[in-house]
Amino acid sequence: MATLPPAYRLTIEVTKLLTGLNHLTLAVTDLNRSVTFYQKQLQLRLEATWDTGAYLSLPGFWLCLSLDPLRKSEPAADYTHYAFSLNAADFPMFVERLRSANVQEWRDNRSEGASFYFLDPDGHKLEAHVGDLASRLAACRRRPYAGMKFFDDQ
pLDDT digits (tens, 9 = 90+) for 83-97: 999 999 999 999 999
- Phi and psi of 134, rounded to 5°? -60, -45
Other C-beta atoms closer than 10 Å to the C-beta of 34 total 24
Residue 51's identity, in one-letter code, is D
Helix (H), strand (E) at residue 100: helix 91-100
Tell me the backbone φ, ψ of residue 84, rounded to 5 degrees. Answer: -105, 150
Strand pairing category for 61-67 and 115-119: unpaired
Q: Is residue 112 pLDDT above 70, yes or no?
A: yes
Active-site amino acid positions: 127
Q: What is the pLDDT of residues 27-53, one digit of tens each?
A: 999 999 999 999 999 999 999 999 999
pTM reported for the whole predicted model: 0.84
